[in-house]
């Protein structure tokens, strides 16, 4: 059975689903079955809301003060599970909560989910992946033709309602694209984090 809660470096993560509405060319799940303390993050069957909540309640977070929702799927594809799990993490474990997302949760759920996220999520990190529509479609390969615009709209909505919002990219992008991402970050006022690809 796949791990629901796992540790990677100094952070604790919740792996709540394997569903994803993208097929990114660089996705780590195409390379190996697990990361950090998890031998596998591939669920035979996606865990129920009750299973995720129980895993959070049972886990000893020690000195860790944050739970990150990020695994081998897109957390907003299981929105009800995400929202309840984040509520429990905050109210019962006194943790900060972070959502790592591809930014297509509004499209996935057919509505603006940001007000719901704002109630239980402290930080949103959105995978920007590319600086423009064409490159985004080629790299991220979302289910939607206009994924870049939908991701951008989601990011701007998050900025209005959530304490901390940032974009992330991996450093495998050409320097020209990284610079364009920096420019987009400056125009929108959304911070950019450049991650090292491992």
Q: Are 66 and 95 in contact (CB under 8 A)?
A: yes
CA distances to 12, 52, 143, 154 from 3, rounded to whole Å, are 12, 10, 27, 29
pLDDT band, residue 71 (cuts 50/70/90): confident
User: In the CATH scheme, what is the homologous superfamily, with its name and number, of domain 5-195?
Assistant: Aldolase class I (3.20.20.70)
User: What is the pLDDT of the chain when averaged over all its residues?
Assistant: 92
* Residue 25 to residue 73: CA distance in whole angstroms: 14
Query: pLDDT at position 163, please?
Result: 86
pLDDT band, residue 81 (cuts 50/70/90): very high
**3-class secondary-structure state, position 191:** strand
Tokens of 136: 């985004």
Query: pLDDT at position 197, please?
Result: 63
Q: Which of 191, 151, 198 is nearest to 168 (CA)?
A: 191
User: SS3 helix, strand, coil % of the chain, rounded to 5?
Assistant: 40, 20, 40
Please say if the pLDDT value at position 63 is more than 80. Answer: yes
pLDDT band, residue 28 (cuts 50/70/90): confident
Helix (H) or strand (E) holding 92: helix 79-93
Mean pLDDT within 171-191 = 91
Q: Are 127 and 23 in contact (CB under 8 A)?
A: no
pLDDT band, residue 25 (cuts 50/70/90): confident
- In this structure, the number of other CB atoms found within 10 A of the CB of residue 79 comes to 17
Domain locations in the chain as residue ranges: 5-195
pLDDT digits (tens, 9 = 90+) for 130-144: 999 999 999 899 999
* Residue 164 to residue 68: CA distance in whole angstroms: 14
* Residue 177 to residue 131: CA distance in whole angstroms: 6
Please say if the pLDDT value at position 84 is more than 90. Answer: yes
Query: pLDDT at position 11, please?
Result: 92
Q: Which of 126, 142, 137 is nearest to 193 (CA)?
A: 126
pTM, 2 dp: 0.93
pLDDT band, residue 23 (cuts 50/70/90): confident
Q: What angle do CA 141, 147, 149 make, to 5 degrees?
A: 150
Mean pLDDT within 88-94 = 97
> CA 12: distance to chain centroid?
13
């Amino acid at each position: 059975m796949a791990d629901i809660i796992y540790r990677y470096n100094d952070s604790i993560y919740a792996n709540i689903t394997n569903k994803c509405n993208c097929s990114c060319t660089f996705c780590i799940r195409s390379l190996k079955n697990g990361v950090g303390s998890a031998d596998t993050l591939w669920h035979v069957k996606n865990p129920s809301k009750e299973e995720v909540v129980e895993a959070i309640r049972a886990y000893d977070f020690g000195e860790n003060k944050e739970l990150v929702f990020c695994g081998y799927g897109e957390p907003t594809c299981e929105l009800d599970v995400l929202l309840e799990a984040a509520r429990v993490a905050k109210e019962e474990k006194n943790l900060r909560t972070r959502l790592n997302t591809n930014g297509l949760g509004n499209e996935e759920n057919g509505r603006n989910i940001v007000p719901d996220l704002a109630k239980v999520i402290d930080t949103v990190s959105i995978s920007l992946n590319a600086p423009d529509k064409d490159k985004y479609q080629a790299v991220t390969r979302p289910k939607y033709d206009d994924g870049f615009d939908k991701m951008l709209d989601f990011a701007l909505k998050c900025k209005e309602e959530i304490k901390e919002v940032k974009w992330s990219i991996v450093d495998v992008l050409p320097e020209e694209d990284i610079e364009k991402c920096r420019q987009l970050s400056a125009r929108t006022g959304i911070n950019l984090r450049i991650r090292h690809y491992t």
